[in-house]
């Protein structure tokens, strides 16, 4: 009779509901009970998801895993209701199961960072952290993880499993790190131990971590950052490079300080999201300011044909013909070498705004270089030029003197120079405000206003 009931509850294979697209994004390690992630499409609705799958063990542990993931769904529903959570945390759409696998359905928000680091080319920003643009982008992404952990901790939860495997990203030119992997989360503020986490059998209980704390979440984040930079933080607080001296990335004092604060905090170090976010803002500002004194080269790409050719023709009285591209490049190079000032808008959006480069003779309009459809500023695109005459911008710009050399070339040669120079290429947009525009919404202001209204209402009733 029991066998008959088991057959009646048999679950259909996941392949009947989902169409698996390509190979696994993150292959599984079955011996270590790690998950595999697949891109799937719902055969009925056509919607695309990431499906995170664990192979069943066909033992009593399966009941433990089911309890953990059902517990996660309840926790995630509460967590994702927090303002701003969906901007930095991966939601869990649904818990799924068949006879062979457990799984959770998630929105498609990228690949695990661990896999992305293995698959990106050597020209990708994740592999060129010596460059200003790459360094700023990484710290802005770290800020997203800090904000996500702050939301988790504010709900009385610890993550407990933070690593490169649970950070999702497309490796885009804009900050896009998302935090996932809440399978082992723990509710610290539960009324009882039984409510704080899923109950496990004695076999499963022995595999849990000895302790969970907010501090260990911050330590895990620090170790993740250190691994990306290829450094290690000793218990003494010393930060040592894992690579050879000529190949390692030189960290600034503020970067070393935040790694020490996260991994080996002292009694006086405050570990909360707000304090750490402010430290990251300081790092980003320091990295940006270092451009003004750092040795390196700015790159400018000149298209063929361009409106700049007519401006050069007029400025030289016809001595540089509009069809002589090589002479145009030489003239631009000589003009910019005589001294240049960069005018940056006070409110600068790297994706849409323009910069103005002013020399003694000309004013050049610079736009972002389109690198595979993504706007980047390690190469500036010279879109227009006109003779200099009178004030520009009427005080709406911040001036920055450019003491470093500026290299002007065609588009193809500019790409080659960027690859040759590597970290010595300077980012034009580093002079602008580098705050993450995605995090400058009014969510926090609205929350503060609602709390104030509740306080006033309580006082009036009292």
Within this chain, do residues 135 and 40 fall inside the same structural domain, yes or no?
A: yes
Half-sphere exposure of 242 (CA within 13 A, CB side): 9
Q: Is residue 452 part of a domain?
A: no
Higher per-residue confidence, 270 vs 336 = 336
Nearest one of 337, 332, 302, 301 to 315, comparing CA atoms: 332
CA dist 181 and 92 (Å) reads 10
182 and 315 belong to one structural domain: no
Residues contacting residue 351 through CB under 8 Å, at least 6 positions apart = 174, 368, 375
**pLDDT over 60 (residue 419):** yes
Residues 115 and 250 in one domain: yes
Q: Indicate the pLDDT class of residue 284, thresholds 50, 70 and 90.
A: confident
List the domain range (segments joined by +) for residue 352.
Answer: 296-431
Question: Which pTM value belongs to this model?
Answer: 0.70
**Contact, 39 vs 108, CB < 8 A?**
yes
Domain count for the chain? 2
Flag whether pLDDT at 127 surpasses 90: no
**Which tokens sit at 82?**
């927090």
- With 0-12 / 13-18 / 19 or more C-beta atoms within 10 angstroms meaning exposed / middle / buried, residue 168 is buried
323 & 427 share domain = yes
Residue 86 lies in a domain: yes
At residue 294, the pLDDT reads 65
Tell me, yes or no, whether 446 lies in a domain. no
Whether residues 267 and 130 share a domain: the answer is: yes
Beta bridge partners of 333: none
Between 57 and 240, name the one with better pLDDT.
Answer: 240
pLDDT of res. 292: 58
Strand partners, 301: 381, 409
Residue 114 main-chain phi, psi, to 5 deg:
-60, -40
Residues 153 and 62 in one domain: yes
CA dihedral 315, 319, 320, 324 (to 10 degrees): 160
Helix (H, G, I), strand (E, B) or coil at 304: coil
When pLDDT is cut at 50, 70 and 90, the band that residue 8 belongs to is very low
Instruction: Give the model's confidence band at 283: pLDDT under 50 very low, under 70 low, under 90 confident, else very high.
Output: confident
The CATH number covering residue 113 comes to 1.10.510.10
Q: Is residue 456 part of a domain?
A: no
pLDDT of residue 177: 95
For residue 257, give Cα distances in angstroms to 164, 262, 306, 450.
Answer: 22, 9, 47, 36
Question: Does 267 share its domain with 320?
Answer: no
> What is the 8-class DSSP label of residue 3?
H
Per-residue DSSP letters for 102-135?
EEEEE----EEHHHHHHHS-TTSGGG-TTSHHHH
Residues with Cβ within 8 Å of residue 314, at least 6 apart in sequence: 387
For CA atoms 372, 380, 366, 293, the dihedral sign is positive
Name residue 384's beta-bridge partners.
365
pLDDT of residue 6: 44
Judgement on whether residues 224 and 304 belong to the same structural domain of the protein: no
4 in any annotated domain = no
Same domain? For 318 and 260 the reply is: no
445 occurs within a structural domain: no
For residues 72 and 48, membership in a common domain is answered with yes
**Digit-coded pLDDT (tens) for 290-330:** 665 567 888 999 888 778 888 888 888 888 888 888 899 99
* One domain for residues 24 and 155: yes
How many whole angstroms separate alpha carbon 84 and alpha carbon 273?
14
Distances 226 to 249, 357, 440 between C-alpha atoms, Å: 11, 37, 27
pLDDT in tens, 185-237: 544 444 443 444 444 444 444 344 444 578 889 999 999 999 999 999 998 88
């Amino acid at each position: 009779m029991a066998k008959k009931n088991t057959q009646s509850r048999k679950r259909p294979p996941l392949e009947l509901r989902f169409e698996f697209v390509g190979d696994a994004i993150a292959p599984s390690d079955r011996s270590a009970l790690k998950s595999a992630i697949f891109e799937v499409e719902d055969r009925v609705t056509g919607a695309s998801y990431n499906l995170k799958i664990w192979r069943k063990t066909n033992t009593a542990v399966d009941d433990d895993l089911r309890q953990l993931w059902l517990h996660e769904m309840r926790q995630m529903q509460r967590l994702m209701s927090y303002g701003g959570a969906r901007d930095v945390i991966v939601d869990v759409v649904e818990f799924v199961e068949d006879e062979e696998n457990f799984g959770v359905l998630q929105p498609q928000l990228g690949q695990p960072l661990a896999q992305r680091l293995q698959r990106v080319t050597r020209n990708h920003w994740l592999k060129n952290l010596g460059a200003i643009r790459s360094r700023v982008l990484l710290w802005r992404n770290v800020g997203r993880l800090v904000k996500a952990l702050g939301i988790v901790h504010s709900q009385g939860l610890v993550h407990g499993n933070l690593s490169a495997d649970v950070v999702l990203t497309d490796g885009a030119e804009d900050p896009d790190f998302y935090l996932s992997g809440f399978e082992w989360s723990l509710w610290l503020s539960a009324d009882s131990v039984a409510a704080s986490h899923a109950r496990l059998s004695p076999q499963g209980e022995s595999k849990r971590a000895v302790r969970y704390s907010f501090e260990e979440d911050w330590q895990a984040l620090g170790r993740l950052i250190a691994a990306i930079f290829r450094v290690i933080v000793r218990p003494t607080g010393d930060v040592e490079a894992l690579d050879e001296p000529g190949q390692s990335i030189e960290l600034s004092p503020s970067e070393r300080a935040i790694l020490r604060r996260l991994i080996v905090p002292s009694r006086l170090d405050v570990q909360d999201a707000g304090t750490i976010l402010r430290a990251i803002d300081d790092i980003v500002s320091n990295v940006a300011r270092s451009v003004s004194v750092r040795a390196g080269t700015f790159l400018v790409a000149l298209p063929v044909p361009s409106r700049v050719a007519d401006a050069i023709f007029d400025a030289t009285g016809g001595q540089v013909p509009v069809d002589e591209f090589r002479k145009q490049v030489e003239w631009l190079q000589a003009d910019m070498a005589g001294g240049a000032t960069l005018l940056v808008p006070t409110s600068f959006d790297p994706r849409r705004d323009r910069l103005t480069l002013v020399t003694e003779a000309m004013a050049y309009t610079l736009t972002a270089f389109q690198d595979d459809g993504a706007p980047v500023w390690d190469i500036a695109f010279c879109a227009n030029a006109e003779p200099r005459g009178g004030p520009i911008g009427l005080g709406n710009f911040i001036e920055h003197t450019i003491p470093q050399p500026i290299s002007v070339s065609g588009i193809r040669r500019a790409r080659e120079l960027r690859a040759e120079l590597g970290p010595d290429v300077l980012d034009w947009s580093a002079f602008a405000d580098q705050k993450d525009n995605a995090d400058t919404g009014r969510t926090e202001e609205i929350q503060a206003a609602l709390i104030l209204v509740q306080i006033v209402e309580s006082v009036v009733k009292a």
